[in-house]
Amino acid sequence: MFKALKIYQLLFLRILLILVNAGILIWLLQNELIFTTVFAFLIILLLVIEIYFYLKKAFLIYDRTITSILQNDFTSDFSKHKLYKNYSNLFKLYENLKNKQNEEVSKDIIYRSILNNIETGIIILQKEENDWNIFLMNDYFSKHFDVPKVSKWKYLKNQLHSLCAIIEEEKFQEIKTSLEIRVNHQDTQTFVLQTSRSQVYNQDFFIIVLDSIQNVVEKKEKEAWGNLMKVISHELLNSITPIRSLSQNLQDLVQQETISQEDRDDMKNSVATMLRRSDHLQQFIESYRKLAMLPSPKKEKVTLQKLLKGSLDIMSPLFKEENIEVTNTISMNNWLNIDSQQMEQVLINLLTNCIYALNDTEQKKVFISAEAKENRTFITIADNGKGIETEIENKIFLPFFTTRKEGAGIGLTLSKSIIESHGGYLVYRKEAEKTSFVICLLTD
């Protein structure tokens, strides 16, 4: 606290000294001591000049420090300043802001480095008045589209007119679509375009992300193959490991000169176990063949009501046996161009899943509904069962993944493949008290 007040103490002493000399000057004038009065006046004048330069120097340090802060110029090092102790709080403020500035610069360098190493085209625009400036363009975008790192939106328009036209048509609002762009004067390529807009501290930013369809497909394919190989290797090891162990045991037994009754029993058990594991492996391979060799759908015009009736007729005995209440609210009768046998299998698979999901539910309910919009028919099959655990939601469509001991794990995978072969899609939705699967099909 003393260090902070030292400047004001020195200033007070100077003013006090001037006032004392002024009092002496008045006394000398009253006593008509002319020469001494002139001398005292000169001393006061020198003190006033000295205090002027003292204040000027003090304000100069404040002005210089504050100007540096306002201009984000933190190159100075005030820690070695000879008056550092007199202005310690001011210089501490400067040092704190300098450290924060260095942290922000470091973060900015790291973020830019991350963005520049991503194999996805990224542009960040910043709005200034009515114009957009390019805040950041990552290296991938610049190199892949052969665009220099320009600073203005209008310059980018000259390079990538098709991209900029779509964004301007949507008035710089959020977009998710695909578009074709000619790259390096070669054939056009298809890209996924996603944009978002956000305001931070009264600054308007617009983010553009471009990803090649080929890259997206490759990523999904690699992920799918990785998951599939894990499942296949797991199943193969689960069967081959015990078979090999039992085979080794049988080899040891048959090499004995005499075989006891106990050894005979062990041999019988080993052969039976090997047979069971072989059957399991054969079932697994058959399941894989069903997925890999799914026949093309033989489409025909079928009404929605006829499709549902066939599936519900098959499942009705099971619903009655399990005491499940089925609520079917479908009243429309749209025509669908589908393979009725394949689609009936899909509905049976989904309804069977509902039965298993309702095992531990007291009031078991299944809900079937549909709606038509934009030349599409959406069929929803839901139940009030326990639902699917969050940690496995992204695995339910994987081949051979199942939570049931007796399940083969291909029901949902096969259903998804069938619907996609019809040009539609199957999605899972989790609601408040329902678990829903939605089938989307093109309406004929």
Q: How far apart are CA 6 and CA 48, in angstroms?
A: 20
**Alpha-carbon span 298 to 208, nearest angstrom:** 42
pLDDT confidence of 2, banded at 50, 70, 90? very low
Residue 69 has pLDDT above 70, yes or no: yes
pLDDT classification of 3: cutoffs 50, 70, 90:
very low
CB 127 within 8 Å of CB 206: yes
Confidence (pLDDT) at 341: 83
Fold type of domain 300-442? Heat Shock Protein 90 (3.30.565)
Pick the residue with more confidence: 378 or 58? 378
pLDDT digits (tens, 9 = 90+) for 318-346: 888 889 898 998 888 888 888 888 888 88
Query: What angle, rounded to 10 degrees, do the helices at 34-70 and 2-30 form?
Result: 160
Mean pLDDT of 387-397: 70
Phi then psi for residue 437, to 5 deg, are -120, 130
At residue 360, the pLDDT reads: 79
pLDDT at 247 over 80: no
Percent of the chain, pLDDT > 70? 77
Cα 129 to Cα 157, 172, 195, 203, 253, distances in angstroms: 19, 14, 21, 10, 89
Total Cβ atoms within 10 A of residue 242: 15
* pLDDT > 60? residue 217: no
DSSP state for residue 443 in the 8-state scheme:
B
108 or 74: whose pLDDT is higher?
108
Q: Residue 203: what pLDDT?
A: 85
Got the DSSP string for 114-179?
HHHTSSSEEEEEEEETTEEEEEEE-HHHHHHTT----SBHHHHHHH-HHHHHHHHHTTT---EEEE
pLDDT of residue 234: 60
Higher pLDDT, 234 or 319: 319
Q: What average pLDDT score do residues 158-183 get? A: 82
User: Dihedrals φ, ψ of 75, to 5°?
Assistant: -85, -20
What's the pLDDT at 223? 65
Confidence of residue 408 (pLDDT cuts 50, 70, 90): low
Domain coordinates of the chain in residue numbers? 2-95, 112-214, 217-292, 300-442
Q: Which residues contact 415 (CB under 8 A, 6 or more apart)?
A: 345, 346, 349, 350, 426
Predicted TM-score of the model (pTM)? 0.42
Per DSSP, the three-state class of 242 is: helix
Average pLDDT over residues 217-228: 61
| CA distances, 62 to each of 59, 89, 97, 243, 364 (Å) | 5, 11, 15, 85, 77
On average, the pLDDT of the chain sits at: 78
Asked whether the predicted pLDDT for residue 185 surpasses 80, the reply is: no
Residue 309 CA to residue 328 CA, distance in Å, equals 11
Please compute the mean of the pLDDT values over residues 368-379 and round it to a whole number: 88
According to DSSP, the β-strands at 176-182 and 188-200 are antiparallel
- What is 112-214's CATH number, 3.30.450.20, 2.40.30.170, 3.30.420.40, 3.40.50.1100? 3.30.450.20
**pLDDT tier for residue 381 given thresholds of 50, 70 and 90:** very high
Write out pLDDT tens, residues 101-152.
888 888 888 888 888 888 788 999 998 888 899 988 998 888 888 888 888 8
Share of the chain above pLDDT 90, in %: 3
Radius of gyration for the alpha carbons in the chain, expressed in angstroms and rounded:
41
Q: DSSP string covering 316-354, please? A: HHHHHHTT-EEEE------EEEE-HHHHHHHHHHHHHHH
More confident residue, 309 or 226: 309
Per-residue confidence (pLDDT) for residue 235, from 0 to 100: 58
pLDDT band at 280 (very low <50, low <70, confident <90, very high): low
